[in-house]
Copies of this chain bind each other. A is one copy, B any other.
Amino acid sequence: MASTDGRQLSGPAPDGRVTITQVAALAGVSPTTVSHVLSGKRIVAHSTRGAVHEAIRTLGYRPNNVARSLRTRRSQMVAVVIPDITNTFYSVLTRGLADTVDEAGYGTYVCNTDGSFDREAKFLEDILDRGADGVVLATVDEASEGALNAAGMGVPVVCVGGALDHPRIDVVAADDEVGSYAVTKRLLDRGVRRVAMIEGPTATGANRIAGFQRAMDDSGREVDPALMVPGDWTRHGGYTAMRALLAGPTRRRPDAVFCANDLMAIGALDALREVGLEVPREVAVAGFDDVDAATIVSPALTTAFNPAYDTGVNAGRLLISRLNGQYDGGGRTIVLPCPLVVRDSA
């Protein structure tokens, strides 16, 4: 089956790879011409073009992208820098990005920073050295120097999640504030009396807290500082926080709790089940993100949908629009809605 390996057509083919020169030789033209029929940048006579295509086919020629990149300064590859691909939010985001840029002929290079600033910097450097054409970055830090650096060097950067303060960096973020507002409002509409919140780390979770606050304000409630407890985004953190909320005298217990993400909400449900409180009758629970697990836990979680895939798609579009020269202005910002998803827990 394998093509008999005994080309004596042209000189330089020590390894398996066919070069443009060999194609040119077989077609009886110059490499220039082959390049032109491939790129279409200049017109080539119909007959010549045929001969070239024929040669390409019989030789099984595939252009060497590395050489091409060197010459054109284009790698046709974008990089995505995220804390952890294992986290569903980021894997879905990455998928959205990959699907989008793939359509435009770009590949996707992935880096996991584990939230470490050093790793982030290291990877951004690596990415630039590799000549990636664009970067989407879920940054650890507000002022990622690596990113600014990249943007400074003319490599488009789009930041997902938090904003990055640079005049030419695009941002796409979910509307956490409004989403949290909606979820909180849903809680309040149940006619509950004491509503608590399990927060995320304030650095990244500020908007979810803000939405909660605004909903409380709008309905004329005051937030009881004792009912605002910190969490760490994890299931176990949610569990601990809920236990803390339940620790006080029964009178002061919440009858509704908004958790800044689903994982913590699931932890909260663990705690409530353990104590024997019925959800949502005795305590209503809501989360944020709408992860898969939200429909697996019982009762199924009321939550706000976090548009991970769309975030990736939009990041991809923003990047592409700069890469193909359609846009060249200052940083744009896209915020995506987080619609309320009502299920059984609230």
Contact = CB atoms under 8 A, between A and B. Distances in A.
Interface of A: 2, 15-17, 62-67, 69-70, 75, 77, 84-86, 88, 91-92, 94-95, 98-99, 107-112, 125-126, 128-131, 152-154, 266, 273, 292-293, 296-298
24 contacts: A15-B154, A16-B153, A62-B125, A63-B129, A64-B70, A64-B129, A64-B131, A65-B129, A65-B131, A66-B70, A77-B109, A85-B85, A94-B110, A98-B112, A99-B112, A108-B110, A109-B109, A109-B110, A292-B293, A296-B296, A296-B297, A297-B297, A297-B298, A298-B298
For chain A, what secondary structure do more than half of its interface residues adopt (helix, strand, loop), or is it mixed?
mixed
A95 B112 contact: yes
B296 A266 contact: yes
B70 A129 contact: no
B75 A86 contact: no
Contacts of A88: 86, 88, 91
B98 A94 contact: no
Contacts of A99: 112
A7 to B, nearest CB: 15
Contact of A130 (B16, B98, B107, B154): B107
Contacts of A94: 85, 110
Contacts of A65: 129-131
Contacts of A62: 125, 128-129
A128 B18 CA distance: 12
Contacts of A152: 2, 16
Nearest to A266: B296
Contacts of A273: 298
